[in-house]
């Protein structure tokens, strides 16, 4: 292990976080001068900024003379440790500013932010300092494209190491970018993210929100994070036009950013070569139609438009793993909750800000199973699996099936651990809490439904769920590799 390059890269993460803390510190000063009660926010962000800068300088001094040569093991360590470090650093403002928040609570909220999960231990958001709400939303925006992707874009000294980092952090492949230089391709993704951020903010402002709420909800929509400035989430605004705008931008957030880039460039035969996006949009339409039928007869739904809007909102919110809510879907018919549970697992597209196992893995996994069923009675048949018009090799197929099995195993272990520390929690609550965290959804069912939060859980449970959030966001390997002794052998 090249520990010096590891320290050097972690110092970049700390310096980038320092910029975010400085931004939040400025927001705290702004609102305190405007007469708002920011409480301990100014002091809290100042201390956090000082800690982040100090650690960044120390890490930089340790790693400044190190070789820039980096292999896959260093990339995995940087990513896994980077997300753990970001979650711990991001927890400091919550712990310093809010008196009722403990260390486990702060880590849970921070991990939920950076992983864009959206699960929360906070209630009465209207009473929380504006600057902390801002940091809460900003952390999801940073986590949207991935902390590491942002940092790779400025690490010119890495050279080919940028390719290794990107391919491990993102579920998209570096081959998907139309540039031979991956660093340039990452810049294109960042520019797209920034451009959509500006457009989304302006759209929300035109929908009637003020600038602060527009900015905060933009942060948590494109990142498919789901944090809101209101305790009732999007339902608090009672604004159908705003809800449709949120549906649109959540859908974009769950779509592959590489596909959006190619769409803007008007590439030839793009739809024919975008199997995942076609399935993604088809699942949204079908699920919306089914749930619309189920909830049309519910009290309070006066017309078909209302049923379609609420169904579309929750389908897109769950499938993109955003976690916003306009209705308490926990009281809907069991069939609707089963559909939403399936969407939780599937998630968004690869290379998007969405969580879940991703649409591409779901499709390929089902096709592999279909092929194996056929081979049960036609043992000599050789039928390749096609995706995006290309045949998948056995290595890719094995990789996908291995991931699905490993994800299932980790999920089962998570459910068992949560049930161990939460013996009084219902079965549906235990399962959905685990699903909501490892698939980065946010709200679940029963005790962790959309109108409730995770505050009642044991501190150990919160730490377990925080780790599951990071595991899900990094798609297991970058975190699990940290526990392999061979990873840490001397460089």
Question: 391 vs 61, 260, 386, 387, 461, CA distance in Å?
Answer: 48, 23, 4, 6, 43
Cα separation, 460 vs 418, whole angstroms: 9
Are 128 and 227 in contact by the 8 Å Cβ rule? The answer is: no
Cα separation, 430 vs 445, whole angstroms: 9
Q: What is the pLDDT of residue 112?
A: 95
Q: What is the pLDDT of residue 165?
A: 53
| Contact partners, residue 435, CB within 8 Å, separation at least 6 | 341, 344, 345, 411, 441, 444
Cα separation, 457 vs 262, whole angstroms: 44
Question: 434 vs 398, 472, 480, CA distance in Å?
Answer: 26, 11, 18
Whole-model pTM? 0.90
Tally the C-alpha atoms within 13 A of residue 40's C-alpha that lie toward its C-beta: 12
State residue 390 phi and psi, 5-degree precision: -125, 150
| Contact partners, residue 434, CB within 8 Å, separation at least 6 | 411, 414, 415, 418, 465, 468
Of 111, 108, 109, 105, the C-alpha closest to 86 is 111
**Number of neighbours of residue 392 by Cβ within 10 angstroms:** 18
- C-alpha triplet 205, 450, 27: angle, nearest 5°: 40
The tokens for 441 are 């959804």
Q: What is the pLDDT of residue 156?
A: 45
User: With b meaning 16 or more CB within 10 Å and e meaning fewer, what string describes 200-227?
Assistant: bbebbeebebeeebbbbbbbbbbbbbbb
Q: What is the pLDDT of residue 327?
A: 83
Q: What is the pLDDT of residue 350?
A: 84
Are 252 and 193 in contact by the 8 Å Cβ rule? The answer is: no
Cα separation, 477 vs 76, whole angstroms: 8
Which helix or strand (DSSP H or E) is residue 320 part of? Answer: none
Are 354 and 224 in contact by the 8 Å Cβ rule? The answer is: yes
Q: What is the pLDDT of residue 256?
A: 87
**Number of neighbours of residue 313 by Cβ within 10 angstroms:** 25
Are 3 and 491 in contact by the 8 Å Cβ rule? The answer is: yes
Are 466 and 86 in contact by the 8 Å Cβ rule? The answer is: no
**Terminal-to-terminal C-alpha distance of the chain:** 4
Could you list the pLDDT tens digit for every one of the 491 residues in the chain? 778 888 888 898 899 999 999 999 999 999 988 777 787 899 999 999 999 999 999 999 988 876 666 777 877 888 889 899 999 999 999 999 998 899 999 999 999 999 999 999 998 899 999 999 999 999 999 998 775 465 555 454 445 455 555 555 555 554 455 444 566 777 788 888 999 999 999 999 999 999 999 999 999 999 999 999 999 899 999 999 999 999 999 999 999 888 898 888 888 778 877 888 999 999 999 999 999 988 876 665 667 888 899 999 999 999 999 989 888 888 888 889 899 999 999 999 888 888 889 998 899 899 888 888 888 888 777 777 877 777 777 778 888 888 899 999 999 999 999 999 999 999 999 999 999 999 999 888 889 988 888 999 999 999 999 999 999 988 888 888 888 887 777 65
Cα separation, 50 vs 254, whole angstroms: 35
The tokens for 342 are 């399936």
Q: Domain residue spans in the chain? A: 172-460
């Amino acid at each position: 292990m090249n520990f010096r390059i590891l320290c050097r890269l972690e110092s970049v993460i700390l310096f980038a976080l320092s910029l975010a803390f400085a931004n939040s510190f400025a927001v705290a000063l702004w609102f305190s001068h405007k007469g708002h009660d920011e409480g301990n926010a100014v002091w809290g962000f100042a201390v956090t900024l000082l800690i982040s800068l100090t650690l960044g300088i120390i890490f930089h001094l340790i790693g400044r003379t190190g070789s820039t040569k980096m292999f896959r093991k260093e990339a995995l360590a940087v990513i896994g440790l980077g997300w753990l470090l970001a979650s711990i650093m991001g927890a400091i403002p919550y712990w310093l500013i809010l008196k009722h928040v403990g260390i486990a609570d702060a880590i849970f909220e921070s991990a939920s932010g950076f992983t864009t999960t959206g699960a929360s231990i906070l209630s009465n958001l209207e009473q929380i300092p504006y600057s902390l709400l801002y940091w809460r939303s900003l952390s999801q925006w940073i986590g949207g494209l991935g902390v590491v992707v942002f940092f790779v874009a400025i690490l010119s000294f890495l050279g080919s190491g940028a390719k290794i980092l990107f391919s491990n952090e993102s579920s998209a492949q570096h081959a998907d970018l139309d540039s031979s230089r991956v660093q340039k391709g990452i810049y294109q993704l960042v520019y797209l993210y920034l451009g959509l951020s500006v457009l989304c903010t302006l759209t929300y402002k035109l929908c009637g929100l003020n600038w602060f709420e527009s900015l905060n909800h933009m942060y948590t929509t494109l990142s498919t994070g789901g944090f809101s400035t209101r305790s009732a989430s999007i339902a608090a605004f009672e604004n159908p036009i705003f809800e449709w705008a949120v549906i649109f931008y959540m859908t974009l957030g769950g779509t592959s950013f590489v596909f959006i880039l190619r769409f803007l460039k008007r590439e030839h035969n793009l739809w024919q070569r975008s199997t995942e996006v076609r399935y993604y949009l088809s699942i949204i339409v079908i699920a919306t139609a089914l749930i619309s039928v189920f909830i049309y007869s519910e009290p309070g739904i006066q017309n078909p438009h209302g049923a379609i809007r609420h169904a579309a909102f929750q389908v897109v919110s769950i499938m993109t793993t955003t976690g916003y809510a306009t209705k308490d879907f926990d009281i809907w018919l069991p069939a609707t909750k089963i559909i939403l549970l399936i969407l939780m697992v599937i998630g968004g597209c690869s290379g998007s800000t969405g969580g879940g196992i991703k649409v591409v893995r779901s499709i390929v996994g089902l096709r592999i199973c279909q092929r194996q069923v056929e081979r049960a009675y036609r043992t000599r048949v050789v039928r390749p699996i096609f995706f995006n018009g290309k045949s998948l090799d056995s290595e890719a197929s094995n990789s996908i099936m291995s991931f699905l099995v490993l994800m299932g195993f980790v999920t089962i272990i998570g459910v068992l651990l949560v049930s161990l520390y939460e013996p009084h929690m219902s079965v549906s609550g235990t399962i959905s809490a685990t699903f909501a965290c490892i698939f980065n959804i946010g709200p679940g069912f029963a005790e962790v439904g959309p109108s409730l939060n995770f505050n009642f859980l044991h501190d150990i449970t919160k730490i377990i769920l925080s780790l599951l959030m990071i595991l899900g966001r990094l798609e297991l390997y970058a975190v699990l590799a940290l526990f392999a002794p061979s990873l840490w052998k001397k460089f």
